[in-house]
Structure 1
Amino acid sequence: MSNQKRKCRQYSGEYLKYGVIPSVNNEQLPMCLLCEKTFTNEGMKPSRMNFHLKVKHPEKANRDVAYFRDLKVKFEKRSTIGGLFKSHGNEVEKGLIASYKVSKLIAKCGKSHTIGETLIIPAVKEIISTMMPTQKDITPSIPLSNSSVSSRIDEMASDIENKLYDELKTTQFSLQLDETTLRDNEALILAYVRYINSSHAVVEEFLFAEKLEVDTKGSTVYKAVEQFFKQKGIPLSNVIACATDGATSMVGRHRGFIAHLKREVPDIFTIRCVIHRQHLAAKHLSDRLHSTLQAVIKAVNRIKAHSLNDRIFRQLCHENEEEFERLLLHTEVRWLSKGNCLRRFYDLYDSVLDFFKCKLLDEKISTDLENRRADVAYLSDIFNKLNEVNIKLQGTKMCLINAKGIIMAFISKLDFYKSCLLRLDLNQFPSLKALKENQTDDSCLSDTDLDCYSSHLQALKEDMTIRFKDLKELKIPEWVVNPFQADATNADPNLVEELKTCKMTLKDHKISGLNDQLEKVHRENEARVKRESKLVKEIEDLKVDTLGLSYRIETLQIEKEIEIEKFSTKLQDPQETNDHLNEELSDKDASIGEYLNKLIEMEQINLDMCDRLANVEDEKIASTHWLESRFKDKIVEFEEIIGEMKTEKERLEMSLVRNGRYNCLLQELKALKEEYSHKFSEMEQKKS
């Protein structure tokens, strides 16, 4: 018997009527809710539990189950030391997470680390006390002191750097370097990397910024890069491409950084920065245009250099109701500065001339600027286009394939701009076009000016063609440019399988995109049909109103004839008849004038309706052409929808026919108006 397994009783919900629940520490042991005493498993018998209740708690023996259920709820909600520590631990953990998140936001915004305890914590306190007065203060559990924020930012930055270094150790990547000098003559070398991560996404990250102690020679830069890669355990052989500017220390054939790098990585692909070359090409100006640019910069500096001149010029712009009130300084190191400075200067050109004339600062500047208005307009337009190209070349997703398309397209556009100038087609040069339209004389844009501008465009094209020769000769595989239509058999054997999968995936996406566009067009057609039905209903209501107005005019005509007959019988007393006739005629004229005004309003409404119907018809035709050109391969699936569109078109044509009938009715009303005018003139003659 001793070796047999003892029977273990399990708790049942029916035992609650005896005031017993499972023990907190062991659910197989019963515990009394009244005295909180725990018994052995043998005490789980109903007889023993009933005996304990009647002997130890006789005053509670006759209580129902609801009483013990409420007692159980109170027991479960009681405060315990373990629960207090657990809730406090959860609060501290959440506060720590919030501290990291807020520190990340502070780092992103570039704010001072003290802003956490000086602004964010007080702001959170005010928000909680105002919006949730009963909520306890949670700010003490969020550490946002200066040192806490700094340590959080350093920890997160270190973690991000370590992850980046670990990825670069096993991943091939491209490197971009640039050397810069700070205000205190401190030289820095900046490095960026671009690679494909484990998720097959192109990632661009900032790698490091190292200080150059003495000089910025190519060997010094290479030693700094090599030392950093060795410290982080990143092999230089993982660098497959490198981009730099055109400085001699970078691209020198024997002692440049690229030369040192190629000795370590012979097969590396190197290229000069595309944006830097585009900026250098934009600086190529003729002597005349260069002197114009210097005159603009001199005028801007003359105004901006003195605070009094700046305030007076701002007040002058305010009085002239200019869109802007400040000029922009030109900064050579800013790529977009020159175009923005010229654009703002030309927008405030008249105010600038007024300022120099009124202040009498320098009559030569005012006269010189007046003679160079066309040059400033041209420079403003061409640098605006150069800025657009520069902005397109920026961004983390830009690559050589896209850059080649943008640069080659702009070079080809230069010939088009030149031909437009020679034909005096200035649509591509809005400032020059506005200048020519505002000034009637031909001296504002002479043949000499056109020759100067066209020569600059030709020189700009030749300069960019030379600078981007390597980019033009860069061969890009067909399957990279157009993987959907490229022949997979001519690609690299290692990429054939992936390319075919990509083609099928792109095809599925294209079909799904076409279906989405079809649904969108279908919804637009439904909305257009609703608008057309609403217009037809408005036209019908307008017809009803017009018929009522016509009936009212006919009634007035009959009443007019009756009144005329009455007045003809009273002509025996000319004075009385004349006064009465004048009074009646004035009343009738006012009434008829009111209805004629209403008729004119109805006619205007009808014209608006016709315009709206014409716009709807134009939208319909444009939508039909778009569908026919967009879904040639899916024409079989779209026949039903095209049929519906044709039906709607016929319905619109019928509406236009009914509209034509309504125009005929308006013409009849106009004829009736002329007839009334003629009769009124006859009545005036009779009265006289």
Structure 2
Amino acid sequence: MPPNKKFKYDDSFIQFGFIVINSGGEEKPQCVLCHNVLESSSLKPCKLKRHLETNHSSLQHKGVDFFQRQGQTLKNFRLDGTGMFFKENVAGLKASYEVSREIAIAKKPHTIGEQLILPCCKIIMSNLLGNSELEKLKQVSLSNNSVMRRIADMSNNILLQVVSKMYNSKFKFFSIQLDETTDVANLAQLCVYVRYVHEKQLEDEFLFCEPLDTTTKAKDIFNKVDRFFRLYDLRWEHVIGVCTDGAPAMLGCRSGFQTLVKEKSPNAIGTHCILHRQALMVKTMPDKLSCVLTTMAVKGKSSEKSLPFKKEIQEFLRDRKPELHSTFTDNSFLMLLAFSVDIFESVNFVNLALQGKEINALHSHEKLTAFNTKIVMWRSKLEKKNFAPFPELDQFLDDNELEANDDIIEVMKQHMFILKSNEIQEEFIDMINDGGAKLLHRDMSCSDFWIEMGQSYPNLSKMALKVLVPFVTTYECEAAFSTLLNIKNKYRHRLDVVHDMRVALSKTKPNIDELIAAKQVHPSH
């Protein structure tokens, strides 16, 4: 027997009052008057005309325009994906998700959607499009509970995407940085970022920010991270780097967090945040120089701002605080103050260079090596009484026709020695590559280069990335705490910030279409 013949709908069938509907993968005719769906074998002009004449004889002489209007109305009220009802509600649900995401990114209260955004949209639409269009806004739900649910949905979607990237990475290993702080409700919050290789680049991504339920001891912090790892099937042996601050709970040699991590992953690199180490280094200085800075700090003056207004400050102290006037007119004091301004300007420059996202060990090593080289040069200049590297000090000596005595220079040299002795040593892998690889290295960042070399030199690439992937600062956690303060303030002190923080800080965008597809579309959702 020949195969069953398939009939196709023709646009001319509308003259008989029929449109097409897909059912079970087949095209079937649907009457626009009684809404009955006929078999696909009825897709013949004679059968469609017979239905019109038999069932709707009073309307058989209506024109094509009449049947087209009836057909469009029927299409609009279909509940499947082709109906206007479905499309409008999907559009409203998508708008609700996207506005909720913007609310989270802006760190605003969830109530702002219903209290401010929606009323403003109504004002704009009524003025530009007329009141007839306001009905469409009813499809967009921005109530407090709706916004909260949208943010939670997007947060979970983002987290699953991040975990999936970690699973599917060519290099299975990753590193974490973590820090803890206390929020406005006096609740300890633990923040964790992760760095991994995704496709052909390194990615830094927010992992979670959750409260510590008991204390902030190393064991509590480890248990919190361990529970998260077990929940999402992340393995400790894949952790190759852990960066924390210098608190005993983090760096304790017997029971610190890094020690507990190394029990699970012996090859993990434990890093003390370079920014914190630099801050500790700068605090160490000779007594005389420390005394100068303490004097300025106690009196509420910034050394950088005080020096240009030396004369004004001297006049003020002479009239208001004579006991301090002699200190601020002492040339030795002012020389050390000028020296401090120059030194801290250089330190601040290095500190800013170490801050930011995607900072790795090689970048930090370059900046610190350059700074230490400068220190050696500055020390040799001081021995020759050459103050050119210290512009504020040099200008002060020239303006007042003064010379720094040996005692003052010795204090400065001592500070140079202290800075140099705190040099941060890092171990790096010798880069061995061929001529073609050298050309690539010239045009690519260091991390991108070694990821690219993964196929040609898999073992060497893996070794190099184990140096590049670990964090060297906790900058991103520190920046996240600023977001925490904005989201959870005294007016929202009971808020659970887990989902808001992830949506606000993640680089990964939520797959809103996937979320909509998983929902039953209804304006109350």
TM range (shorter): 0.5 to 0.7
**2:327 partner letter:** D
Aligned CA distance change for structure 1 residues 21 and 352 (closer, same or farther; 3 Å): farther
Per-residue deviation, residues 207-246 of structure 1 (Å, max 9, x unmatched): 4444162462x44444444344334432222212222333
Deviation, structure 1 residue 398: 0.9
- State whether structure 2 residue 437 is matched by structure 1 residue 478: no
Letter of the 1:456 counterpart: H
Relative to structure 1, the CA distance from residue 81 to residue 165 in structure 2 (aligned partners, 3 Å threshold; closer, same or farther) is closer
Task: Find the counterpart in structure 2 of residue 522 from structure 1.
Answer: none
8 Å contact 2:32–2:71 — kept in the other structure?
A: no
1:452 aligns with 2:404: no
In the alignment, structure 1 residue 147 sits paired with structure 2 residue 145: yes
Check the 8 A contact 1:236/1:264 in 2, yes or no.
Answer: yes
Does structure 2 retain, via aligned residues, the 8 Å contact 1:483–1:499? no
Distance 1:351 1:385, change over 3 A: same
Which residue in 1 is equivalent to 2:456? 498
Corresponding position: 1:158 with 2:156: yes
Preserved contact between residue 197 and residue 203 of structure 2 (Cα < 8 Å) = yes
Aligned to 2:212: 211
1:92 and 2:89 equivalent? yes
The answer on whether the counterparts of 1:478 and 1:486 sit within 8 Å (CA) in structure 2 is: no
Distance 2:9 2:257 in 1: 81
Distance 1:276 1:482, change over 3 A: farther
Count of residues in correspondence between the two structures: 429
Distance 1:483 1:268, change over 3 A: farther
- Which residue of structure 1 lines up, in the alignment, with residue 234 of structure 2? 234
Structure 2 segments unaligned to the other structure (5+ residues)? 22-26, 442-449, 462-525
Counterpart position of 1:243: 243
Quote the residue 1:318 is aligned against: none
Q: What corresponds to 2:261 in structure 1?
A: 261
Q: Which whole-Å CA distance do the structure 2 matches of 1:30 and 1:210 have between them?
A: 58
The structural deviation recorded for 1:79 is 7.1
| Aligned-partner Cα distance in 1 for 2:163–2:304 | 44
CA distance in 1, matches of 2:430, 2:132: 64
Report the equivalent of 1:521. Answer: none
The answer to whether the aligner puts 1:435 opposite 2:396 as a matched pair is yes
Partners of 1:8 and 1:229 lie apart in 2 by 55
Residues in 2 aligned to 1:434 and 1:295: alpha-carbon distance in whole angstroms? 22
> Would you say the 8 A contact 1:177–1:190 is kept in 2?
yes
Task: Give the match for residue 363 of structure 2.
Answer: 402
From the two aligned structures, give the one with the greater helix fraction: 1
Please show how residues 1-16 of structure 1 align to structure 2 within 5 Å.
Answer: none
Q: Aligned to 2:349, which of 372, 388, 402?
A: 388
Deviations 1:541-563 (A, max 9, x none): xxxxxxxxxxxxxxxxxxxxxxx
- Does the alignment pair 1:274 with 2:274? yes
- 2:32–2:67 contact (8 Å) kept in structure 1: no
The residue type paired with residue 107 of structure 2 is G
The 1:112–1:296 alpha-carbon spacing in structure 2 relative to 1, beyond 3 Å, is same
Indicate if the aligned counterparts of 2:20 and 2:30 stay in contact, CA closer than 8 A.
no
- Code of the residue aligned with 1:113 in structure 2: it is H
| Secondary structure, counterpart of 1:178 in structure 2 | strand
Deviations 1:82-102 (A, max 9, x none): 269933332222121111111
Query: Shift of the alpha carbon at 1:290?
Result: 0.8
Residue deviations 1:307-330 (CA, integer Å, cap 9, x gap): xxxxxxxxxxxxxxxxxxxx7xxx
Q: Distance in 2 between matches of 1:89 and 1:56?
A: 33
- Structure 2 vs 1, CA of residues 456 and 79 (structure 1 numbering), >3 Å: closer, same or farther? same
Change (3 A) 1:267 1:8: closer
The CA deviation at 1:258 is: 3.0
d(CA) in 2 for partners of 1:197, 1:8: 48
Q: Distance in 1 between matches of 2:12 and 2:181?
A: 82
Please tell me whether residue 111 in structure 1 is matched to residue 108 in structure 2: yes
1:346 and 1:254, CA in 2 relative to 1: closer, same or farther beyond 3 A?
Answer: same
* Matching residue of 2:327: 368
Cα drift, residue 164 of structure 1: 3.4
Report the structure number with the largest CA radius of gyration. 1
3-state SS of 1:484 partner = helix
Q: 1:373 to 1:82 in 2, by over 3 A?
A: same
TM-score w.r.t. length of structure 2: 0.67
1:221-620 aligned within 5 A:
221-300=221-300, 341-358=302-319, 360=320, 362-371=321-330, 372-422=333-383, 426-437=387-398, 439-442=399-402, 445-462=404-421, 464-465=422-423, 468-469=424-425, 471=426, 474-479=427-432, 484-485=437-438, 497-499=455-457
In the TM superposition, what is the alpha-carbon distance from 1:203 to its structure 2 partner? 3.0
Partner of 1:82: 77
2:78, 2:86 within 8 Å by CA — same for their partners in 1?
A: no
Deviation readout 1:480-509 (Å, 9 max, x if unpaired): 899833999xxx9x9685259x99xxxxxx
Q: Under a length normalisation based on structure 1, what TM-score does the superposition of the two structures give?
A: 0.52
Structure having greater relative contact order (Cα 8 Å, sep ≥ 6): 2
The 3 A distance-change label for structure 1 pair 41 and 69 is: closer
CA contact (8 A) 1:243 1:272 kept: yes
Contact 2:177 2:242 in 1 (8 A): yes
Aligned twin of 2:19: 24
Code of the aligned partner of 1:283: K
Q: Deviations over 1:385-424 (max 9, x none)?
A: 1111112112221111111111111111112223444556
Q: What CA distance in whole angstroms lies between the structure 2 residues aligned with 1:13 and 1:148? A: 43
CA positional deviation for 1:293 = 1.0
Secondary structure at the aligned position of 1:111 is classed as: coil
Kept after mapping to 2: 8 A contact 1:204/1:396: no
Task: Give per-residue Cα distances to partners, 1:175-219, cap 9 Å, x unaligned.
Answer: 323344567765454433211124543334334444162462x44
Q: For the residues of structure 2 that align with 1:239 and 1:431, how far apart are their CA atoms?
A: 47
Q: Distance in 1 between matches of 2:155 and 2:258?
A: 30
Matched residue SS, 1:387 = helix
Displacement after TM superposition at 1:365 (Å): 2.8
Q: Which amino acid is the alignment partner of residue 112 of structure 1?
A: P
* Residue in 2 that maps onto 1:595: none
User: Deviation per CA, 1:273-303, whole angstroms, max 9, x where unpaired?
Assistant: 2222111111111111111111111121xxx
Which one-letter code corresponds to 2:456 in the other structure? E
Q: Which secondary structure state, in structure 2, belongs to the residue aligned with residue 411 of structure 1?
A: helix
**Cα pair 1:169 1:233 within 8 Å, conserved:** no
CA, structure 1 residues 104+446, in 2 after alignment: closer, same or farther (shift >3 Å)?
A: farther
Pick closer, same or farther for the CA change 1:232–1:56 going to 2, 3 Å.
closer
- The two structures, once aligned, show a CA RMSD in angstroms of 4.7
2:519 corresponds to which residue? Answer: none
CA apart distance, 1:263:
2.8
Cα distance in structure 2, aligned partners of 1:257 and 1:10: 69
Cα deviation code 1:147-199 (max 9, x no counterpart): 22122112222222334345556732113233445677654544332111245
**Per the alignment, do residues 201 and 267 of structure 1 end up closer, same or farther by CA in structure 2, a change over 3 Å counting?**
closer
Deviations 1:513-547 (A, max 9, x none): xxxxxxxxxxxxxxxxxxxxxxxxxxxxxxxxxxx
Which amino acid counterpart does residue 401 of structure 2 have in structure 1? D
Write the distance in 1 (CA, Å) between the matches of 2:223 and 2:10. Answer: 78
Residues 344 and 475 from structure 1, CA distance in 2 versus in 1: closer, same or farther, beyond 3 angstroms? same
Q: Would the alpha carbon gap of residues 193 and 113 (structure 1) be closer, same or farther in structure 2, given more than 3 Å must change?
A: same
